[in-house]
Chain A
Amino acid sequence: MPLPIGPVLGILSDNLRIRGSVLPLSRSEATGWARGLDIPRGGNTVLYTGLMYQLIPAIDALASQMARFEDSTIARLFGLGRVANKFINLSFFMALTASKEMKQENNQVLRNIAEMLKKAGVEFGYLYKQELYSGALVYDEGMDESFSVHARRVVNVFRENGVRCVITVDPHTTSILRDVYPEFVQDFDIDVKNYMEVLAEKNLPVMHEQNKELVIHDSCVYARYEGMIKQPRSLLANAGITVKGLELSGRSTHCCGGPIESLFPSKAHEIAANRVGQLKEKGEDIVTMCPICQVNLRKAAAGSCHISDISNTFAKAYLS
């Protein structure tokens, strides 16, 4: 039995409307990754994290809590939970068990990306506490009214800071800004580039050739929505890394199950387990490009293989 769809979606939508994010995130959790990197505030071009890497530990903690209710009569109380959540941030308490290790690891992904962009000579700033979540999850669930209001709020922040170009770090934020915002925000004229597109254009010098083989799990959104398949592979190839052949890859990649984790945890786990099986047949060193894919595949793999964000591999090769 799935979790009650209406109330769960209602809570996410209410959180976005009332609190500006689908799940709560403190200022230090949102911006802590940038500490010590001396990234200027704002500017013509900004690194826009969309808070995805920072939110994933809280989303994972919440999904694990909710999975316990999947076949329980307690799930019937979610309607009441939605009413209470408008006044008391219940999702904050449910997300308190977020893993510290995952937070540190995801912060490192953002640091890797910022440091590689700097090394490539890209001039960029960051919006720090002004940065908002993109609203991708709410859009995917069809809550267009909430999404529309939020998208305008995000673009206003860009405009107030004179931002003309954003560099994104994950597939969902990239696609929502590039493909969906122009439909919802009048005169949307902000250039959206993904960090791998930027780095692939810059011919970043290799510091440490890697001479290894690995398996890529392509994100559905990068591969099929954005057609972004060549860039990660060229960055790996330049670093001496061989990508092992996999039937379901590139435009034919197989989903990790993550998009339905919050409503259908058991089904999400089944899909992730199938995918892990396909990946492991080719090798046990696997890279992902999306924080949702990473967390979902890792849970299904249960330590049986090494799954890491592709930026960690890039950092070993391109940063000294």
Chain B
Amino acid sequence: MEKVSSKLAAKLKESEEFNAQACYHCGTCTALCPLGYKIVPRKLFREVMLGLEDKVKESIPEIYSCLLCRMCEEYCPAEVHIAENIRYLRKYINEEVFELL
């Protein structure tokens, strides 16, 4: 049973920066990622949109090791702003998990 975080979901609704709704899980991003991660970004974005905060926290190393190089974004057929989404998640984790100002 997964716990849904209403806080994460509410923050996403407020945000103009997070735009993963257009993703249709084609896997182009995963194939191109220089890090070769299986999870980032499509599975991660689905977890975020579902408000699965604990799952998102499990992906903290992947979120912070993203290079923000935009190789994935260059070929994304749905034009998802992947790097900016990752940066948005960092901002969320910095505030809510690491309590950084």
B window 72-89: CB within 8 A of A: 73-74, 87-89
Is there an interface contact between B65 and A267, defined as CB atoms closer than 8 Å?
A: yes
Within 8 A of A (CB), among B39-96: 60-61, 64-71, 73-74, 87-94
Given the known interface contacts A142-B88, A142-B91, A142-B94, the answer about A257 and B64 at a Cβ–Cβ threshold of 8 Å is no
Q: Counting CB contacts under 8 A, is A145 at the interface? A: yes
Q: Which of A141, A220, A263, A274 contacts B71 (CB 8 A)?
A: A220
Q: Is B101 an interface residue (CB 8 A)?
A: yes
The interface residues of chain A lying within 8 Å CB-to-CB of B87 are 139-140, 142
How many residues of chain A have a CB within 8 Å of chain B? 29
A6 touches B100 (CB 8 A): yes
Total B residues in contact with A, Cβ cutoff 8 Å: 27
Q: B-side binding surface: helix, strand, loop or mixed?
A: helix
Q: A142-B88, A144-B91, A224-B74 are known contacts. Are A10 and B67 too (CB-CB below 8 A)? A: no
B73 / chain A contacts, CB cutoff of 8 Å: 224
| Set of chain B residues within 8 Å of A259, measured between Cβ atoms | 67-69
- Cα A221 to Cα B90 in complex, Å, equals 19
- Chain A neighbourhood of B94, CB < 8 A: 6, 9, 141-143
Which A residues are in CB contact (< 8 Å) with B71? 220, 224, 252, 254-255
Do B34 and A274 touch (CB < 8 A)? Answer: yes
A6 and B98 within 8 A (CB): yes
> Which residues from chain B contact A128 at a C-beta distance below 8 Å?
none
Tell me if A280 counts as interface (CB < 8 A to partner B): no
Q: Does B97 contact A (CB under 8 A)?
A: yes
- Please give, as numbers and ranges, the residues of chain B lying within 8 Å of A141 by CB-CB distance: 64, 90, 94
Q: A251 contacts the other chain (Cβ, under 8 Å)?
A: yes
| Interface check A225, CB cutoff 8 A | yes
B26 at interface, CB cutoff 8 A: no
With known contacts A142-B94, A144-B91, A254-B34, A9–B100 Cβ distance under 8 A:
yes
**Cβ–Cβ contact B35 & A271, under 8 A:** yes
Q: How far is the CA of A251 from the CA of B71 in the complex (A)?
A: 8
CA distance A271 to B65 in the complex (A): 12
Q: Kindly state the separation between the CA atoms of A10 and B68 in the bound complex, as whole angstroms.
A: 20
Q: Which A-chain residue is minimally distant from B93 (CB atoms)?
A: A142
Over the window 207-247 of chain A, the binary record of Cβ atoms lying under 8 Å from chain B Cβ atoms (1 yes, 0 no) is 00000000000001000110000000000000000000000
Q: Would you call A146 an interface residue if the criterion is a C-beta within 8 Å of the partner chain's C-beta atoms?
A: yes
Q: Are B70 and A225 closer than 8 Å at their CB atoms?
A: yes
Set of chain B residues within 8 Å of A144, measured between Cβ atoms? 91
Q: How far is the CA of A140 from the CA of B11 in the complex (A)?
A: 20
* B residues apposed to A, CB below 8 Å: 34-35, 60-61, 64-71, 73-74, 87-94, 97-101
Q: A5-B64, A271-B34 are in contact. List 18 more A-B contacts (CB 8 A).
A: A6-B94, A6-B97, A6-B100, A9-B94, A141-B64, A141-B94, A142-B94, A143-B91, A144-B91, A220-B69, A220-B70, A252-B71, A254-B71, A257-B67, A259-B69, A260-B64, A264-B64, A267-B65
> A-B pairs with the 5 shortest C-beta distances?
A142-B90, A6-B98, A142-B91, A255-B69, A220-B69
Between A and B, 19 residue pairs with Cβ closer than 8 Å are: A5-B60, A6-B99, A9-B98, A10-B100, A139-B87, A141-B64, A141-B94, A142-B87, A142-B94, A220-B69, A225-B70, A254-B34, A257-B34, A257-B67, A259-B68, A260-B65, A264-B65, A271-B34, A271-B67
